[in-house]
Amino acid sequence: MTMTDDTKPVLPPVPGTSPEGAPELTAAQRRRAGSRHQAFEGGTGGKLLGYVGMAAAVLLFFVPLYFIAMTSLKTHGDIYSDPISWFPNPFAPENYSYVLSELRFDRYLRNSIIITSILTVIEVSLGVMCAYGFSFLRFPGRNLLFLLVIASLMVPNQVTVISNYALVASWGWRNTFQGIIVPLAAVAFGTFLMRNHFLSLPKEVMEAAELDGTGFFRTLFRVVLPMSWPTLIAFTLITVVNEWNQYLWPFLMSDTDKVAPLPIGLTQLQDNEGLTNWGPVMAGTVLTAVPMLIVFLILQKQMIKGLTAGAVKG
């Protein structure tokens, strides 16, 4: 305890209390807080290791994308130059015009939009409804049934390709949209993701909705989904990207450009070029990726919120 000029005692700061603003800390508390902050950051060595890791991750992601973009602007001879060139010399933008004129790009793009749109609507609807039922309905065997749904995530899609192909072909659905869409319509990932989010919603809100007498679907659309937009958008974006890039099953189901999506079109382009002229192939790859990049740029904030929802509580 010390004395001031007006002889009033000045008490040491009380930990965690302050009449206004942030809590006042003692000198010992500030030292301990600084030590914890430094330990959390890992010191200089930890920061350096983190920067090296981030730089390595950026290189692993962006170097292949950079070479795809640059190769799409190279001539045939420049692509196979030794040593490899990092920049196109000369520029060959005609690779893009070649793709648009020779590939029936508009038809493959139309097919990709149709398949992706229908599959996204079906998968998101089924995922939300299944998750809603598993979260709020009480029925015998609910946990066992949900366990079976989750177990299906452990089964690779390639395992069911032969049986699905025999069944769909026997129905005469080859070279049709339903032949591509129906076997891909059920995905358990959305049920798993949305159920976990629904269970994290405040119970008080659900109890209030029940006391107000809201029905099953009214509670879903007026209470649950408005609190779930970030997770729902993340689920939708993941579904869109996954279905846009589908290759194996559409490749087995389509022989012509009547129903084949863009990834199959790129294969046709590669065949036409005899596996040697990668310029048009990379140009087609860039054009195929552009719609998904636009969708990601529009919805990136909501997607990050949805994927990190529940990571921090409080």
Q: Give per-residue pLDDT as tens, 247-286.
A: 889 998 888 888 889 888 888 776 555 556 788 888 888 9
Average pLDDT, the chain: 81
pLDDT value of position 2: 46
Please state the rounded mean pLDDT for residues 19-33: 66
Q: Output the pLDDT for position 9.
A: 52
Q: Which has more confidence, 307 or 254? A: 254
Report the C-alpha dihedral over residues 204, 205, 207, 209, rounded to 10 degrees.
160
- What integer pLDDT is reported at residue 308 of this predicted model? 64
Quote the tokens at residue 231: 């997770």
The answer to whether residue 5 scores a pLDDT higher than 60 is no
End-to-end CA distance of the chain: 38
Rg of the chain over CA atoms, in angstroms?
28
What was the pLDDT predicted at 40? 61
Q: Which residue has the tokens 């008080």?
A: 204
* Structure confidence at residue 3 as a pLDDT band (50, 70, 90): very low
Percent of residues, the chain, with pLDDT higher than 90: 13
**pLDDT at residue 181 tops 70:** yes
Question: Is the predicted pLDDT of residue 117 greater than 90, yes or no?
Answer: yes
pLDDT at 299 over 90: no
> If we measure between CA atoms, which residue out of 216, 194, 220 comes closest to residue 134?
194
**When comparing pLDDT for 86 and 187, which is higher?**
86
Q: What is the pLDDT of residues 183-220, one digit of tens each?
A: 888 778 888 888 888 888 888 888 888 788 778 888 88
Of 124, 148, 121, the closest CA to residue 134 belongs to 148
Predicted pLDDT of residue 202: 84
What percent of the chain stands above pLDDT 70? 84
**Stretch among 40-54, 106-120, 216-230 having the lowest mean pLDDT:** 40-54
Statement: residue 313 has pLDDT above 90: no
Structure tokens given for 245: 């890039």
| For residue 143, pLDDT beyond 80 | yes
DSSP H helices, the chain, are: 27-41, 43-71, 76-79, 94-102, 105-136, 142-151, 161-170, 177-181, 188-199, 203-211, 216-219, 229-244, 248-253, 262-272, 278-308
Q: Which residues of 142-164 are buried (b: 16+ CB within 10 A; e: fewer)?
A: eeeebeebeeeeeeeeeeeeeeb
d(CA 269, CA 281) in angstroms, rounded, equals 7
Position 16 confidence tier, pLDDT thresholds 50, 70, 90: very low
> What confidence score (pLDDT) does residue 1 get?
46
Q: How confident is the model at residue 126 (pLDDT cuts 50, 70, 90)?
A: very high
Q: Band of the pLDDT at 78, cuts 50, 70, 90?
A: confident
